[in-house]
């Protein structure tokens, strides 16, 4: 029997938890067990099929574990004996632990559509060999249908057209693509960019069945429309991978995620922690459980879990939900609540909007118009959320907004924000859109 101080089950967030543990407890032995031979960067999966050029260019090297003196075992944990603190692997090996971390992630949702089992119908499993097969099969594809118009579907649609003579159609059941993530005006802007790229959008449309004999030949919609397809990608979403935790008697909570406290410790066992997509999330704003799966949240939770294993003092503040994407060269990002989400939970809000070029003057080469929308609480002026579209700078601007949200900054405080600017790198200090959007709300907040 093998023995270790800390045993971590899982991939990406497991790596982060292991490194965090090593930093806080350098004398502890850490072992990571995962069944995947190669770990992919989850957010980079759509880009395998376009910009990156293959799954081999979207991996996390195992050397990251080795350089942190963390042992890696490539196998699958099949039994957790909590009473004796022993985990049994698929090959029969057993490992005794002091502390255990579940970082088992999530799996793609496969909808119960008739014909979903046909050849060339693919869910997005985070598996190197599986995604390599999809990449190879796509070489001969002429008509690709993507079911789901959220981040996964939109990014796949945008990427799969690059360098290929291929017809791409997105089927989305809601009235707009990205509707669960963006406010209406940003959804409309993103859809315009998709259409500019030659992608066919079918919104308010539901896939009823997948056509063909052994291999897919098309998709039948609920309204009777048939769409030609020789490949279908399912971009419906993901669900937590918690079957082993359930079998181990660990309490599950919202959406079958593992129930954890603010220290990422399970409710069931003080020596077992969980982080990432398999762990329960609570909203930063309401404290209610939320179904949010983002790499940024997973790694934050993993750092907290690793730090708390032997001294639980670091606390999870809740899911702010910060994310960004790129659609046909234009970036879209959100931190915290959109206007729609804030109103859905009954919040009285004030909205501030501003836009400016991301260089000054705006006539500099490669300048892009940046649009900012901020959501403030009417009664206290605290920032609740922000949405941005524009160029590459959007990716870091949204992180600035996340920090403002996390520290409960008000519109008055953001107005006094001292930004660093440069003509080739940022908007003008006179027209900096985050500050200007806040400025526009101040008169309404003090009425």
Q: Any idea what the CATH number is for the domain that residue 276 is in?
A: 3.50.50.60
Residue at a domain's end among 213, 236, 259? 236
In this model, does residue 363 exceed pLDDT 90?
A: no
User: What is the 3-state secondary structure of the chain?
Assistant: CEECCEEEEECHHHHHHHHHHHHHCCCCCEEEEECCCCEECHHHHHHHHCCCCCHHHCEECCHHHHCCCCEEEECCEEEEECCCCEEEECCCCEEECCEEEEECCEEECCCCCCCCCCECEEECCCCHHHHHHHHHHHHHCCEEEEECCCHHHHHHHHHHCCCCCCEEEEECCCCCCCCCCCCHHHHHHHHHHHHHCCCEEECCCCEEEEEECCEEEEEEECCCCEEECCEEEECCCEEECCHHHHHCCCCECHHHCECECCCCEECCCCCEEECHHHECEEECCCCCEECCCCHHHHHHHHHHHHHHCCCCCCCCCCECCEEEEEECCEEEEEEECCHHHHHHCCCCEEEEEEEEECCCCCCCCCCCEEEEEEEEECCCCEEEEEEEEECCCHHHHHHHHHHHHHCCCEHHHHHCCCCCCCCCCCCCCCCCHHHHHHHHHHHHHCC
- Whether 81 is covered by a domain: the verdict is yes
Both 205 and 299 in one domain: the answer is no
With cut-offs at 50, 70 and 90, classify the pLDDT of residue 447.
low
Both 248 and 226 in one domain: the answer is no
Buried b (16+ CB within 10 A) or exposed e, 381-390: bbbbbbbbbb
- Whether 50 is covered by a domain: the verdict is no
The whole domain housing 151 covers 121-236
Q: Is 440 exposed, middle or buried (0-12, 13-18, 19+ CB in 10 A)?
A: middle
115-142 pLDDT per residue, tens: 999 999 999 999 999 999 999 999 999 9
Q: Any idea what the CATH number is for the domain that residue 426 is in?
A: 3.30.390.30
Residue at a domain's end among 220, 236, 252? 236
Bridge partners for 260 per DSSP:
266
Distance CA 289, CA 277 (A): 13
Residue at a domain's end among 236, 263, 281? 236
368-414 pLDDT per residue, tens: 999 999 999 999 999 999 999 999 999 999 999 999 999 999 999 99
Both 153 and 231 in one domain: the answer is yes
Both 81 and 136 in one domain: the answer is no
Both 155 and 193 in one domain: the answer is yes
As a whole number of Å, the end-to-end CA separation of the chain is 69
Both 197 and 226 in one domain: the answer is yes
Both 435 and 359 in one domain: the answer is yes
What is the pLDDT at residue 442? 81
Q: What is the mean pLDDT of the chain?
A: 95
Domain count, the chain: 3
User: What average pLDDT does range 306-331 have in this prediction?
Assistant: 96
Least confident of 281-285, 328-332, 362-366: 362-366
Both 194 and 281 in one domain: the answer is no
- Whether 316 is covered by a domain: the verdict is no
User: What average pLDDT does range 292-316 have in this prediction?
Assistant: 95
Both 336 and 401 in one domain: the answer is yes
- Whether 323 is covered by a domain: the verdict is no
Contact between 411 and 347 (Cβ < 8 Å): no
User: What average pLDDT does range 269-278 have in this prediction?
Assistant: 97
- Whether 421 is covered by a domain: the verdict is yes
- Whether 69 is covered by a domain: the verdict is no
Both 373 and 299 in one domain: the answer is no
Both 226 and 295 in one domain: the answer is no
Both 160 and 255 in one domain: the answer is no
- Whether 68 is covered by a domain: the verdict is no
With cut-offs at 50, 70 and 90, classify the pLDDT of residue 445.
confident
Least confident of 161-165, 178-182, 214-218: 161-165
- Whether 65 is covered by a domain: the verdict is no
């Amino acid at each position: 029997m093998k023995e270790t101080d800390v045993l971590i089950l899982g991939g990406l967030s497991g790596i982060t938890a292991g490194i965090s543990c090593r930093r806080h407890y350098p004398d502890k032995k850490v072992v990571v067990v995962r069944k995947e031979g190669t770990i992919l960067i989850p957010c980079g999966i759509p880009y395998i099929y376009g910009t990156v050029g293959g799954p081999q260019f979207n991996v996390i090297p195992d050397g990251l574990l080795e350089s942190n003196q963390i042992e890696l075992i490539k196998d699958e944990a099949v039994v957790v004996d909590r009473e004796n603190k022993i985990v049994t692997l698929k090959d029969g090996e057993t490992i005794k632990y002091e502390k255990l971390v579940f970082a088992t992630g999530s799996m793609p949702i496969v909808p119960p559509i008739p014909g979903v089992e046909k050849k060339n119908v693919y869910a997005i499993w985070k598996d190197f060999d599986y995604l390599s097969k999809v990449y190879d099969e796509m070489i001969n594809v002429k008509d690709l249908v993507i079911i789901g118009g959220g981040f996964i579907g939109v990014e796949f649609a945008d990427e799969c057209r690059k360098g290929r003579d291929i017809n791409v159609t997105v089927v989305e059941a809601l009235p707009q693509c990205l509707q669960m993530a963006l406010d209406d005006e940003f959804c409309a802007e993103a859809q315009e960019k998709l259409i500019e790229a030659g992608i066919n959008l079918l919104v308010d449309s539901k896939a009823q069945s997948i056509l063909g004999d052994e291999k897919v030949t098309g998709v039948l919609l609920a309204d009777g429309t048939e769409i030609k397809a020789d490949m279908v990608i399912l971009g419906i979403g993901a669900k937590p991978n918690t079957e082993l935790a359930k079998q181990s008697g660990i309490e599950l909570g919202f959406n079958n995620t593992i129930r954890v406290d603010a220290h990422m410790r399970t409710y069931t066992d003080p020596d077992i922690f969980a982080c990432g997509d398999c762990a329960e999330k609570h909203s930063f704003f309401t404290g209610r459980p939320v179904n949010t799966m983002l790499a940024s949240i997973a790694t934050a939770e993993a750092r907290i879990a690793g730090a708390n294993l032997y001294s639980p003092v670091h606390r999870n503040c809740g899911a702010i939900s910060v994310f960004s994407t790129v659609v046909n060269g234009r970036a879209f990002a959100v931190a915290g609540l959109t206007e729609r989400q804030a109103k859905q939970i009954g919040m009285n809000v004030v909205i501030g909007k501003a836009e400016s070029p991301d260089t000054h003057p705006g006539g500099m080469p490669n300048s892009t118009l940046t649009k900012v929308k901020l959501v403030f609480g009417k009664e206290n002026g605290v920032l609740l959320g922000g949405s941005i579209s524009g160029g590459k700078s959007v990716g870091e601007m949204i992180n600035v907004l996340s920090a403002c949200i996390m520290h409960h900054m008000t519109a008055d405080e953001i107005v006094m924000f001292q930004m660093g600017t440069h003509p080739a790198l940022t908007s003008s200090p006179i027209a900096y859109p985050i500050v200007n959007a806040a400025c526009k709300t101040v008169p309404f907040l003090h009425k």
